[in-house]
Amino acid sequence: MNEPKPKVTVAIIGAGIAGLSCASSLQKLGFEVRVYEKSRGPSGRMSTRHGEGWSADHGAQYFTARDRAFIEELNTWIKAGVAAAWHPRLSVYDSGQWQESGSKEKRYVGVPAMNSPGQYLAKNLSIECNQTIDKIYRKDGKWHLRSLENGEMIQSFDYLVLAIPAPQSYALTKLVDHSIETICSDIKMQGCWTVMARLSNKADMHFDAAFINNEIISWISRNNSKPGRTGQETWTIHANPQWSQQWIELDKDEAGQLILDSAKQLGLNCHNAEISIHRWRYASGAINTELGFILNDESKLCLCGDWLHSGRVEGAWLSGYKLASAIDISVAA
Ligand SMILES: Cc1cc2nc3c(=O)[nH]c(=O)nc-3n(C[C@H](O)[C@H](O)[C@H](O)COP(=O)(O)OP(=O)(O)OC[C@H]3O[C@@H](n4cnc5c(N)ncnc54)[C@H](O)[C@@H]3O)c2cc1C
């Protein structure tokens, strides 16, 4: 009897939605995949902060689904109960005026939290959390990794996928591939200061979510208006990318106070609220690439992520999904 062929091995750095989508697609195609993630759990910027009796989505707020493949994936999430449509009362604040939003866009969220689809995808994958990869190198035709926490990894890999934001990809690739280094350094990602406010009573606002165009804020939403959320009344406020980037090094409490003052002027008074503040150093920013991912056939170094595919949840998922097919084709060639 023939020996079974050894599987092609792939290491994926980053368990955000792009890394998870790439990993699960590759696994379905018969690859042996291992994911390394620096945080305590998967899902990256599709994230939720949990406290006693409350939770708040503090990264991605909702996502849209336009591409056929992503719609199919979304349908499996909905069937599994980890995503659902969200129908907020939606307003827009611009030039000092409030308006009801006329947007007919279908919006979806993770259920019961934004990180639920990521956790669902992660269930059948081999993921090592609390592993910050700080060095990659190629030796004897294989990729080797080192993590900050555990040092050199014993296993080496045929392919290496970086599913992390551009500046972090740049930091890892600058010593191994100058062409990738140039693409990564072309993009300027911007930060986002985020405030989560827990109120003792329901705030009397005329919207569940609002796009804001003022000096500081870009978005306000009531977490409890999303499906499956229970617990204390919690609002998420995002500062806009320009303001956040300009004040990215500001003291956390100072940034939070400026955002809360601005929210008060918009009618959301969080004076007596319990506050959590988060600084996203790399929240948004993308470049247009033809394929939506990068695959170097020679070195077998690959990149995927939202920044290579429209800068949103759907783009991130598609980037990982398309890269997986491209790796499969590259192996067969
Ligand atoms: C504040 C905010 C609001 C947003 N709002 C929306 C929205 O409303 N709608 C929408 O569609 N999108 C939104 N987005 C964007 C959306 O969240 C992203 O497009 C998507 O989640 C990116 O997925 P990703 O897998 O490409 O990257 P990430 O989610 O960033 O995943 C990368 C992962 O890699 C890990 N990592 C990084 N470096 C290393 C390392 N050296 N070693 C190991 N692991 C590493 C990180 O911890 C992370 O888990 C928002 C993002 C933010 C921050």
Question: Are 40 and 132 contacting, i.e. CB atoms less than 8 angstroms apart?
Answer: no
Which of the four pLDDT bands, split at 50, 70 and 90, describes residue 185? Answer: confident
Please list every protein residue whose CB sits less than 6 Å from any atom of ligand 1. 13-19, 36-39, 44-46, 59-63, 132-133, 163-165, 168, 192, 194, 238, 280, 283, 305-306, 311-313, 316
Q: Classify 246 in phi/psi space as left (phi over 0), alpha (psi -120 to 50) or beta.
A: alpha
User: Is pLDDT at 27 greater than 80 in this prediction?
Assistant: yes
Which of the four pLDDT bands, split at 50, 70 and 90, describes residue 202? Answer: confident
CA dist., res. 210 & res. 213, Å (int): 10
The pLDDT tens digits of the residues spanning 249-307 come to 999 999 999 999 999 999 999 988 999 999 999 999 998 888 999 999 999 999 999 99
User: Is pLDDT at 112 greater than 70 in this prediction?
Assistant: yes
Q: Classify 30 in phi/psi space as left (phi over 0), alpha (psi -120 to 50) or beta.
A: left
Angle at 14 between CA 4 and CA 197, to 5 degrees: 145
The pLDDT tens digits of the residues spanning 153-164 come to 999 999 999 999
pLDDT of residue 3: 61
Count each helix (H run) and each strand (E run) in the chain, helices first: 8, 20
User: Is pLDDT at 181 greater than 90 in this prediction?
Assistant: no
CA of 312 to the centre of ligand 1 (A): 9
Q: CATH assignment of 65-112+190-284, given 3.20.20.30, 3.90.660.10, 3.20.20.70, 3.40.630.30?
A: 3.90.660.10
pTM, two decimals, is 0.97
The pLDDT tens digits of the residues spanning 45-98 come to 999 999 999 999 999 999 999 999 999 999 999 999 999 999 999 999 999 999
Lowest mean pLDDT: which of 18-27, 173-182, 192-201? Answer: 173-182
The pLDDT tens digits of the residues spanning 205-235 come to 999 999 999 999 999 999 999 999 999 999 9
Do the two domains 1-61+114-187+288-333 and 65-112+190-284 of this chain adopt the same fold? Answer: no
For the CA of 134, the closest atom of ligand 1 is 41
Question: Are 160 and 35 contacting, i.e. CB atoms less than 8 angstroms apart?
Answer: no
CA of 243 to the centre of ligand 1 (A): 20
Q: CATH assignment of 1-61+114-187+288-333, given 3.40.50.10440, 3.50.50.60, 3.40.190.10, 3.40.50.300?
A: 3.50.50.60
Tell which one of 39, 45, 127, 145 to mutate to probe ligand 1, the residue whose CB is within 8 A of the most ligand atoms.
45
Which of the four pLDDT bands, split at 50, 70 and 90, describes residue 1? Answer: low
For the CA of 58, the closest atom of ligand 1 is 1
pLDDT of residue 47: 97
User: Is pLDDT at 4 greater than 70 in this prediction?
Assistant: no
What is the token pair recorded at 284? 């948004």
Which of the four pLDDT bands, split at 50, 70 and 90, describes residue 2? Answer: low
- For 93-102, letters b (16+ CB in 10 Å) and e give beeeeeeeee
Q: Would you list the domain boundaries of the chain? A: 1-61+114-187+288-333, 65-112+190-284
CA of 307 to the centre of ligand 1 (A): 9
